[in-house]
Amino acid sequence: MSILDSKIPQGPLAEKWTKHKATIKVVSPANKRKLEIIVVGTGLGGASAAASLAELGYKVKAFCYQDSPRRAHSIAAQGGINAAKNYQNDNDSVFRLFYDTIKGGDYRAREANVYRLAEVSPNIIDQCVAQGVPFGREYGGLLDNRSFGGVLVSRTFYARGQTGQQLLIGAYQALNRQIAKGAVEMYNRHEMLDVVKIDGKARGIIARDLVTGKIKRFGAHAVVVATGGYGNVFFLSTNAMGSNGSAAWQCYKKGAVMANPCFVQIHPTCIPVHGDQQSKLTLMSESLRNDGRVWVPKKKEDAVKLQKGEIGPNDIADEDRDFYLERRYPSYGNLVPRDVASRAAKERCDAGFGVNAEGKAVFLDFKYSIERLGKDVITARYGNLFQMYEKITDTDPYKEPMMIYPAIHYSMGGTWVDYNLMTTVPGLYSIGEANFSDHGANRLGASALMQGLADGYFVLPYTIGDYLADEIMTPKTDVNAKEFAEAEKAVTDRIEKLFNIKGSKPVDYFHKKLGHIMWEYVGMARNAEGLKTAIKEIQEVRAEFWKDVKIPGELDNLNPELEKAGRVADFFDIGELMARDALDRNESCGGHFRLESATEEGEAKRNDEQFTYVSCWEYKGEGNEPVLHKEDLVFENVKLTQRSYK
């Protein structure tokens, strides 16, 4: 346990954060001006952190690989953001939000962190409103809420179906204000390729200017990584095309421990894959399950005819439809949590009841709610989603049921951090989706936005001071130091190595292969044998990649293939670690389902005796197996129960 000190404050749960804030060190304004902080990534976490830190007086350098900070993939979140405001007077509270999040995460997150998240959640809403986020409102002018993700209260704030966009624009505006003041130096189209450590502490990064190909050195007193998740290891996911795990992976290689890498969320309502030409999956909001009924045919022959395109969904009579979620989970029905809904869809499709040509889709039918509520009500609720679906699939969901299938959506796992959000490398912080801290094995809907902004606005700006207070005597980092030179050389060497392979196949070829292995063996249902196969096959494809990848273009120019190659090279390693972690965790919890650990009815079975811990993997050099450390999870305020939705 030596390398893991979670620094969870002592005392009652509800007082931990307050006490902690009161006891950690603070940096004086005069000293803040001398301290530099690098923030990598400008999504909800990164943008809010960069802006808030600059407001405090620190000198901030912010980086994003996109052409503008506003493009970060937080922008794609649709549904909403949770906060324990209790505006609806429905007996919501900080504790209830904490409890829902811990339970939703299947008891694999830290109590103290989750409680703090719930505690600062109301401040987030206040902050966003003050910034001009146009949340949905009631006629009286006060904020409206919707319920979300099967919880018992209405605590989700929303801005139409574009909540992520509006929150990100809020943070981006705050960031822009600091850029205009000169408090933040913004580096667009720059990709972090390594973190630089001096005397064991994070002191800067190496980044590639994606337009000129120039490798540059940036020094600071602390580095914050806010680079999101690694879902694209699966090739097809709802992540943005450029979303990647490389920054977090370089941190891992420099000593930052990775936690729970096998915990990824598979979202049940995505538009299914068609053919083999697809590059990206599109998410349809979870809210659709409020009024849509999920089904596949009862009879195999109907399914076969659907797959061949001989009949349409409307040719199948009601009595021949299998509403399998309602059948299996009568009390929650179509509103079971994401992980459960996803697995159930996979089960039906694996049994041969899939409804599209590939046999990998189920129906989400609005016929019944249109009959019950009328088309107008459905249009008012989901009009824009229906339109989006029709644009993509050319099918009118008012007339024919939607086809949906699960897809990779979010990574709960990530860089291990202590209560201060610092990784195991001093001075290196990880926030938002990039860290592992708050969602355990399964994230609740509308909680990702909450966590990103909580970390960036209200946690990191306090906790980073505790570290920086001891750095006020440290002079400005010298980027000519030998550590920078070494790191830069390593980065350049790796890029040149990749570029000079000059093999025969494009990066996508290998990425797709990796994706298939991951989806097959490290996807919705995992077992020991499959995971071992995955590790072996990933190693094979990786070896092939390093021999035969073909990267065109130039090193000193905009070169998207070169960017992809670097990211995919890391995805192999991430994928392998995910498989290792999944292999170690021989229990089913949240999004992680081990076939060996299931009830007789095929439901997930947690094993609290053996696995109530955070799996923390330490890098031991190339070619060596990583070492597993365990952070035991202690639950003093909630009772662990088996989730049931029957």
Partner 1 sequence: MADKILKQLKIKVWRQKNAKSKGRFETYTIENISTGSSFLEMMDILNNDLIEKGIDPIAFDHDCREGICGTCSLYINGRPHGPDTEVTTCQLHMRKFKDGETITIEPWRARAFPVIKDLVVDRSAFDKILQAGGFVSVNTGGVPDANAIPVAREDAEESMDAAACIGCGACVAACKNSSAMLFVSAKVSHLAKLPQGKVEAKTRAMSMVAKMDELGFGGCTNTRACEAECPKSISIMNIARLNREYLKARLSR
Q: Which active-site residues does the annotation give?
A: 338
Let me know: does 179 contact 199? Beta carbons within 8 Å: no
Residues 394-433 that bind partner 1 (CB under 8 A): 394-395
Tokens coding 424: 């195991």
Altogether, the residues listed in the chain come to a count of 646
**Which x/- pattern, by CB under 8 A, does the window 460-499 give for partner 1?**
-x--------------------------------------
**Which x/- pattern, by CB under 8 A, does the window 182-201 give for partner 1?**
----x-x-------------
Let me know: does 168 contact 75? Beta carbons within 8 Å: yes
Residues 242-271 that bind partner 1 (CB under 8 A): 242
**Which x/- pattern, by CB under 8 A, does the window 57-76 give for partner 1?**
---------xxxxxxxx-xx
**Which x/- pattern, by CB under 8 A, does the window 293-332 give for partner 1?**
----------------x-----------------------
Q: Three-state SS for 394?
A: coil
User: Which is closer to partner 1, CB of 155 or CB of 629?
Assistant: 155
User: Which is closer to partner 1, CB of 70 or CB of 293?
Assistant: 70
User: Which is closer to partner 1, CB of 123 or CB of 586?
Assistant: 123
Whole-number minimum distance, CB 424 to partner 1, in Å? 27
Let me know: does 433 contact 400? Beta carbons within 8 Å: no
> Contacts from 322-327 at CB under 8 Å and sequence distance 24+?
322/295, 322/296, 322/297, 322/298, 322/348, 322/353, 323/293, 323/294, 323/295, 324/294, 324/295, 324/296, 324/348, 325/294, 326/293
Q: Judged by CB under 8 A, which of 147, 176, 269, 442 binds partner 1?
A: 176
Helix, strand and coil content of the chain, in percent to the nearest 5, comes to: 45, 15, 40
Whole-number minimum distance, CB 566 to partner 1, in Å? 16
Q: Which residues of 140-179 are buried (b: 16+ CB within 10 A; e: fewer)?
A: eeebbbbbbbbbebbbbbbbebbbbbbbbbbbbebbbebb
**Which x/- pattern, by CB under 8 A, does the window 502-521 give for partner 1?**
--xxx-xx------------
Closest by CA position to 340, among listed 614, 232, 638, 332: 332
User: Which is closer to partner 1, CB of 242 or CB of 255?
Assistant: 242
Residues 323-382 that bind partner 1 (CB under 8 A): none
Residues 214-243 that bind partner 1 (CB under 8 A): 238, 240-242
Q: Which residues of 190-210 are buried (b: 16+ CB within 10 A; e: fewer)?
A: bbbbbbbbbeebbbbbbbbbb
Please tell me the distance from the alpha carbon of residue 250 to that of residue 256, in angstroms, as a whole number. 9
Sign of CA dihedral 397, 401, 403, 409: positive
Residues 99-138 that bind partner 1 (CB under 8 A): 122-123, 125-132, 134-138
Beta-carbon contacts of residue 317 (< 8 Å; ≥ 6 apart): none
Residues 524-543 that bind partner 1 (CB under 8 A): none
Could you tell me how many residues of this chain bind partner 1 (CB under 8 A)? 89
Residues 428-467 that bind partner 1 (CB under 8 A): 457-458, 461
Whole-number minimum distance, CB 559 to partner 1, in Å? 8
Q: Judged by CB under 8 A, which of 387, 539, 610, 644 binds partner 1?
A: 387
Q: Judged by CB under 8 A, which of 173, 379, 527, 533 binds partner 1?
A: 173
Q: Judged by CB under 8 A, which of 31, 93, 154, 278 binds partner 1?
A: 278
With binding defined as CB under 8 A, does residue 51 bind partner 1?
A: yes
Q: Judged by CB under 8 A, which of 6, 42, 48, 101 binds partner 1?
A: 48
For residue 372, CA distances in Å to 71, 368, 375, 378, 443 come to: 40, 6, 9, 10, 32
